């Protein structure tokens, strides 16, 4: 015998409330409609569902057992409705986000943690990549958000880019580096020390080449390459090596790492860090909520980073 699931959920509501009228209000139905359902279900089952003369209504044994099945369906329906409401409000769901490694490690992962303290029912899947992989992931619907620096060339067709932080690169070194004791620095002073090469595919690699051109050299001594942000900091702290990093990344670790800015002017990239999305695709509310959180946090950070930049005495002596 196959029973209509809607009939079972209405029976469960009547048993739960003890009243046909209250059950109708709970389900958003009319009282006559629920009464007809109970009558139809009783005829289908061939047994009374409620004990006669009882107020509030009291189910019979078979009525109680069928109501238990209806309660499971009713609860699943309620949870489904809550899920839909939560999804629309951006309170539940999964956000797929990726970005360039150094910025993800320096800023974004911490911001995700802050976000999930407030939104514990949102899952965040994070990965890494450079602009080509990130753009492809967005287009292929494998990513909802990408955090990356973008240059003067606009985002690829079909993508939108929301700037969150102007770009500025610096030469980073350990806090006891010999060059920090010099009163004036020249880019030529950078020649005498080994370097850490940025990750393959990183825009920082092109920036390192721009530094070389400004010095008038075709190559420098690369002692270490391919490391994560943590490994780059670890290596810098133990050696007199230099590397090119976004100033904001060094700022983020100014208190917990023995790494600082070497106050020498270098060619600056025409890039801005921002959030990459697919244009025209219906946006996932949870992803938009995370994007707003990241943008707001960078709004707060921007002035702090600017004051830190202004505290560095920039300027090169003549070569």
Q: What is the pLDDT of residues 120-140, one digit of tens each?
A: 999 999 999 998 999 999 999
Res 298: pLDDT: 93
Name residues of the chain where pLDDT drops below 70: 1, 152-154, 313-319
Res 318: pLDDT: 44
Res 1: pLDDT: 67
Res 313: pLDDT: 60
Res 211: pLDDT: 82
Residues 6 or more apart whose CB falls under 8 angstroms from that of 49 comprise 11, 38, 41, 42, 59, 60, 62, 63, 66
Res 199: pLDDT: 82
Domains and CATH numbers, the chain: 5-89 (1.10.10.10), 93-166+271-309 (3.40.190.10), 169-270 (3.40.190.10)
d(CA 87, CA 289): 11
Phi-psi region of 90 (alpha: psi -120 to 50; beta: other; left: phi over 0): left
Find, among 105, 97, 111, the residue nearest to 231 by Cα.
105
d(CA 34, CA 13): 10
d(CA 246, CA 240): 19
What is the residue-wise DSSP string for 35-83? Answer: HHHHHHHHHHHTS-SB-TT-SS--B-HHHHHHHHHHHHHHHHHHHHHHH
Question: Would you say 178 and 240 are in contact if contact means Cβ atoms under 8 Å apart?
Answer: yes
Res 319: pLDDT: 43
Q: What angle do CA 11, 16, 18 make, to 5 degrees?
A: 90
Find, among 263, 208, 247, 309, the residue nearest to 106 by Cα.
247
């Amino acid at each position: 015998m196959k029973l209509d699931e809607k009939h079972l959920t209405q029976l469960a509501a009547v048993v739960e409330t003890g009243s046909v009228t209250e059950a109708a209000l709970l389900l958003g139905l009319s009282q006559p409609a629920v009464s007809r359902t109970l009558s139809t279900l009783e005829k289908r089952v061939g047994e009374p569902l409620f004990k006669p003369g009882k107020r509030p209504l009291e189910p019979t044994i078979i009525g109680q057992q069928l109501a238990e099945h209806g309660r499971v369906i009713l609860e699943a329906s309620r949870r489904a409705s809550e899920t839909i409401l939560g999804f629309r409000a951006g309170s539940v769901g999964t956000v797929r986000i990726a970005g360039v490694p150094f910025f993800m490690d320096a800023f974004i992962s911490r911001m995700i943690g802050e976000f999930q303290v407030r939104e514990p029912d949102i899952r965040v899947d994070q990965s890494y990549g450079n602009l080509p992989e990130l753009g492809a992931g967005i287009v292929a619907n494998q990513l909802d958000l990408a955090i990356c620096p973008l240059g003067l060339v606009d985002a690829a067709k079909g993508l939108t880019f929301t700037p969150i932080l102007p770009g500025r690169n610096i030469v980073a070194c350990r806090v006891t580096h010999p060059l920090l004791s010099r009163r004036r620095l020249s880019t030529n002073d950078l020649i005498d020390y080994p370097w850490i090469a940025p990750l393959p595919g990183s825009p920082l690699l092109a920036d390192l080449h721009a530094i070389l051109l400004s010095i008038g050299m075709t190559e420098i001594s690369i002692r270490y390459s391919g490391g994560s942000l943590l490994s780059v900091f670890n290596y810098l702290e133990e050696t007199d090596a230099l590397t090119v990093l976004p100033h904001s990344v060094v700022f983020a670790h100014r208190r917990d790492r023995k790494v600082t800015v070497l106050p020498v002017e270098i060619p600056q990239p025409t890039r801005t860090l921002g959030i990459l999305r697919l244009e025209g695709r219906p946006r996932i509310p949870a992803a938009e909520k995370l994007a707003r959180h990241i943008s707001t946090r960078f709004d707060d950070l921007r002035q702090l980073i600017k004051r830190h930049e202004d505290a560095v005495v920039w300027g090169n002596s003549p070569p």
